[in-house]
Structure 1
Amino acid sequence: MTLTTGGAARRNRFPGFFSAAAALVAAAGVAMIACAPTAALAAYPERPIKIIVPFTAGGATDIAGRILAEELGPLLGGSAFVENREGAAGVIGVQATTRAAPDGYTLLLAGNSLMTSHKSLYPKLPYDALRDLDPVARVSSGTHIIVVKANSPYKDVKQLLKAASEKPGGVTYGSGGSGSSVHLAAELFQVQSGVKLLHVPYRGTSLAVTGLLAGDTDLMFDTTASSYPRIKAGQLRALGITSLARAPELPDVPTVAEQGLPKYEVLFWLGLYAPKGTPPEVLQALEQATQKVLASEKVRKKLADLGMASYFAGRNDLGKQIAKETIEWEEVIRKAGVKLE
């Protein structure tokens, strides 16, 4: 005698009913899975978004980060704030981002040198920009500027070159740390001019500017955004812009290229990043919100007042830019013979 359980008996008596029910359950499961990302996105952000700035407060990256956070959070329906994680020329802040949960609540705002040149500078770099981070958007375009204290004997780049030629290693420059964009701008200057300057690294750009104003160093290859307010205030004198064309906000300052180094060009830009593995729908939401923030006339004016231009590029273009500049800086670093631990 064959025994049949009650459930099996019911299935045998009503085969059509149970087949239809199973189909409905399966369809509902598929629908739930398909809607899961949308539901997650609809809830994002549920708490404040942290934007890590890998330098001290007061520098160009920090100021731009605070402008971005002020607008980005509310646009997404939440809030955002800046956390300064300085040290090791920005490496500490970048590494902290790569180790964060890839959930969209920890972002990184960093200059191009951290994403490009550091790969060649540091043999033991604990991260790879394209491997460990997801690009979100490029947010600005800017330059560096050679500045000295207002009472400095140097009036232009030609005088600086003459003094450096006469005193190899006798002219000092400060930077926000070894491997920072300020440092590399000076290295390229030395490679192309043949002069030797003495590097004095600080724990952040703002500290290097303080040292310059105190007379502890002779000059800086600062970002225009960092030095612009002090140039306008008469505290610093600008010797040359590092772009090939003069800056609209400082039309009377000649380029370095005009003053004897025709191929000299160093640009400074900022990008927004997330830990690798951040959900695509969250990255898309951040990218679109960033584009809207940068299109705002209010934000454009704030950045312009800093000597920085609003400049949006999407995730794919930012990734390509990083790959391109990584190759370009590798050659400069090789010629300069710079290696950092």
Structure 2
Amino acid sequence: MAAAVCITAAPAVSAQDEWPRAKPIRLVVPFAAGGTSDILARLLAQQLQLRLGQTVVVENKAGAGGVIGADAVAKAAADGYTLLLGTVASHAINPALQPKLPYDAAKDFTPVMLLGSISNVLLVGAGQPVKTVQELVQQAKAQAAPLPFASAGTGSSQHMSGETFKLMTGARLTHVPYKGSAPAIQDVIGGQIPMSFETTVVALPHIRSGKVRALAVTSAQRSKALPDVPTMAEAGVPGFDVSSWQAFYAPAGTPPPIVKRLHEELSEIVAMPEVKARMDSLGVDHTPNTPEQFAAFGRDELAKWSRVVKQAKVQP
């Protein structure tokens, strides 16, 4: 019996000890290329593969506000070779918004590390006449049809920023979901849609080039990346506070030594001066955290967005 136990246990121990030498690691981004998650994933993947000595391939699986990509990771083997760059959308908003998700955000993933929070920003196209939040609210209330706003997808933090804006201002808006941030902001730039809520990561270069106009950030404090742009509270919507966040997950059941190694490597990567500077420039605010602290944060976020969805009567 003892020999049989040893033989049975040997393959699992061997596979764990071999990680990450067996094959390339797949880092799934549940949104389109060019968005916040994609930019951050590629920044970290480059450093992670140098430290692990193994190729880290970023794979974009966009659609359904992050659900498709997250579901692919939830159903992947728990061997450390498939990881997820998860977000507030995939693990807090969509679980609150859609009771019949194909995965359980709390049970089907192992939290590795919270990478940081990111403010969203209310944008209008450069050709739009409005210059302030209050002018936009007046326009949205005055015109016959609701004013359309773009987001990275249903259940994204950008979507919920818009729903919260409607709830708190009474502005008449209609949501237009895209398959990611990049196609959404391109239509704002092109004038196909008048406004959007977007993360500072994606919005920054277009704000600086003058292709879009930033009216306010959605966080309680001004963004380090956009210090001259007022908060929603400063722009006349007191109490407004919606932020996105990005995080690393592995499938549930991933061996603790692999999770520990990933957390240690990621902690050292985000502390590197060049990576920290890049994350600061993107508006990603990182606070060191353990997997346990991140898990508790995730539970609080799910409870928070469940309340918002109910109060705003948001339908998927």
Does residue 295 of the first structure (1) align with residue 271 of the second (2)? yes
1:237 is paired with a residue whose SS is strand
Q: Deviations over 1:20-59 (max 9, x none)?
A: xxxxxx79x98x9799748833543432111000011000
The aligned runs of 1:275-286 (5 Å cut-off) are: 275-286=251-262
Identity value in percent = 37
**1:220-259, aligned counterparts within 5 Å?**
220-259=196-235
In structure 2, list runs of 5 or more residues that go unmatched.
Answer: none
Distance 2:108 2:281 in 1: 33
Alignment of 1:317-332 (within 5 A): 317-332=293-308
Letter in 2 for 1:273: Y
Equivalent position of 1:134 in the other structure: 110
Instruction: Provide the rounded CA distance (Å) in 1 between the counterparts of 2:287 and 2:42.
Output: 16
Is the aligned partner of 1:144 residue 2:123? no
Deviation for aligned residue 1:236 = 1.3
**Number of equivalent positions:** 314
Q: 2:137 aligns with which of 148, 161, 179?
A: 161
Q: Judge conservation of contact 2:224–2:280 (CA < 8 Å) in 1.
A: no
| Deviates further, 32-41 or 119-128 | 32-41
Task: Say what the alpha-carbon RMSD is for the aligned residues.
Answer: 2.2
Give, in whole Å, the separation in 1 of the partners of 2:15 and 2:64. 40
The alignment's TM-score, normalised by the length of structure 1, stands at 0.87
Name the TM-score, length of structure 2 as normaliser.
Answer: 0.93
1:213–1:235 Cα contact (<8 Å) kept: yes
The CA distance in 1 between the partners of 2:195 and 2:161, in whole Å, is: 12
User: CA offsets, 1:49-108, max 9 Å, x none?
Assistant: 110000110001100000010011211222212000011111100000011000000000
Give the equivalent residue in structure 2 for 1:201.
177
- The 5-angstrom pairing of residues 207-218 of structure 1 reads 207-218=183-194
- Residues 231 and 112 (structure 1 numbering): CA distance in 2 closer, same or farther, change over 3 Å? same
**Following the alignment from structure 2 to structure 1, what is the Cα–Cα distance between the partners of residues 304 and 19?**
41
Q: Tell me which residue corresponds to 1:112.
A: 88
2:297 alignment partner AA: Q
Name the amino acid aligned to 1:240: A
Look up the match of 1:103: 79
Superposition pairs of residues 295-314 of structure 1, within 5 angstroms: 295-314=271-290
1:156-195 aligned at under 5 Å gives the runs 156-167=132-143, 169-195=145-171
Unaligned runs of 5+ residues in structure 1 are 1-25
Name the aligned partner's letter for residue 112 of structure 1: V
313-322 vs 272-281, which deviates more?
A: 313-322
Residue type at the aligned position of 2:70: V
Structure 2 equivalent of residue 260 of structure 1 = 236
Could you report, residue by residue, the CA deviation over 1:159-200 in whole angstroms, capped at 9, with x for unpaired residues? 111111212643211111111111111001111112220211
4+ aligned runs moved over 4 Å, structure 1: 32-39
